[in-house]
Amino acid sequence: MVSDLNSTPDPRSAYAYPSVRQEPTLASPLADALADLEAALEAADGERLSTALQQFGSRLGPAGPQESAAVGPALAALLPAVPPFPRAHLAMMVGACVERGADPAACAGPVLAGLRGALSGALLLLDRWKETGGGPLPDPDEESPAQAHQRIEDREQLDEWNAHRAVAGWWTLHLWQMASFAVYSHAAVRTSARASGVTDVLLELVDRYSAEQHDLKGLAYLARTLDDEPLLVLDRPTGTGYLLRMDGLADNFQLHTLLADQLIGGGHLPGVAPDPEVVALSRTEQVDGHRRLIAQGSFNLVAPDGSWIWNEGTPGDIPVVDGIRTLVLDPQPYERSWSAGRFIQEIPGDLRLERVLTPSEAATALAGVAPAQPSEQAFR
């Protein structure tokens, strides 16, 4: 094997430093380091690979955005050939290249495949840990992966290769999480991964993960973020309907604020429009840690079957009816408020009103929805 369980190059040099060079040189040091990586992999030389990884990381830190962007896809293409532990650190470097402008779509495939492998491995470790007595799970920051490997390996239950896969997944999942966040931050990747079924597979694995050592909520919300997605909104009290389009919306608090801005602020529905600063935080502005703005609820979000759509969820919770996500607005059963902002600060959000339904269109659509469930049912 090219790597052993303790082969974990320090990834910090790949992510920690801003660019100090604005233009690439004709003879790119980063391109030379990439060539060294390729040669080490071709030679299947573990010591040479470790040296090449460290050299690439040290050169990526001070590299300029154009130089970093240029090597990103080629670096991502190397991932499947790299052994599990160094592969995760290399994925972090791919993520750094994407953050500096590398084509995210060209980098995403190997990164998301690596995330799937790490999640599968981590789940395997969790299962074997329970089977071998349970107790506190291994701390990747404090404990040796070799000890965990020794505990879970069993010739009859789990062979050496799968034990290695489980330990590598557990010890490197946080690195794959960060690399995947970098590529999933781009709408083109989210759209492609959703259409191909990759996102569904990853979210199924995330939903099965229950340990506290890795917080996957942010990545799950990002993967579920909807882009260029039509939304039919029916307001029950006024009998009106609206066709809108969502872009980069990751959470329903964000959607709620933008609905109030478009429909109340736009003069289509009665009520108090949200503060412009609150709206800006749901679109593009960053939250100021020294100043807390409060958003006020305006509606109760309800599915066409009468069940509640919770603000704590995502727009993906809104069901698709006749090919379009359909949301019903009811009066609030009680006052709601929350801290203004976006759950995923790294991506902007938008909600656009495309047209107001005619009275007959709205009446027909509303005739097909169920009454809202009473609050006691919603709180079961």
Residue appearing with tokens 């290399």: 90
pLDDT (0 to 100) of residue 28 = 85
Using DSSP bridges, classify how beta strands 229-235 and 294-296 pair: parallel, antiparallel or unpaired. Answer: unpaired
pLDDT (0 to 100) of residue 290 = 76
Beta-carbon contacts of 50 under 8 Å, excluding residues fewer than 6 positions away, are 3, 7, 9, 86
pLDDT (0 to 100) of residue 58 = 93
Give start and end residues of each alpha helix (H) in the chain.
12-15, 29-43, 46-60, 65-78, 84-99, 104-131, 145-152, 160-184, 187-196, 198-208, 217-224, 252-259, 276-283, 359-367, 375-378
pLDDT (0 to 100) of residue 375 = 61
Q: How many CB atoms lie within 10 A of CB 186?
A: 18
pLDDT (0 to 100) of residue 27 = 55
Both tokens of 348, joined, read 């902007």
Which of 196, 257, 194 lies closest to 226, judged by CA?
194
pLDDT (0 to 100) of residue 213 = 79
Nearest-10 crossing angle of helices 65-78, 84-99: 150
Cα-Cα-Cα-Cα dihedral of 41, 44, 47, 48, to 10°?
A: -40
Whether residue 102 contacts residue 187, with contact meaning beta carbons closer than 8 Å, is answered with: no
Whether residue 169 contacts residue 242, with contact meaning beta carbons closer than 8 Å, is answered with: no
> In this structure, what DSSP letter does residue 325 have?
E
Q: Phi/psi class of residue 110: alpha, beta or left (left: φ > 0; alpha: ψ in -120 to 50)?
A: alpha
Both tokens of 84, joined, read 């599990």
pLDDT (0 to 100) of residue 1 = 29
d(CA 3, CA 51): 12
d(CA 209, CA 45): 35
Q: List C-alpha distances in Å: 96 to 100, 297, 341.
A: 6, 38, 25
d(CA 170, CA 268): 51
d(CA 221, CA 108): 17
pLDDT in single tens digits along all 380 residues of the chain: 223 323 333 333 332 222 223 333 335 889 999 999 999 999 998 899 999 999 999 999 999 999 999 999 999 999 999 999 999 999 999 999 999 999 999 999 999 999 999 999 999 999 999 999 999 999 998 899 999 999 998 877 778 889 999 999 999 999 999 999 999 999 999 999 999 999 999 999 999 997 777 889 999 999 999 999 999 999 999 999 999 999 999 999 999 999 999 999 999 999 999 999 999 999 999 887 778 899 999 999 999 999 999 999 999 999 999 999 999 999 999 999 999 999 999 999 999 999 999 999 999 999 999 998 876 444 43
Residue appearing with tokens 């430093």: 17
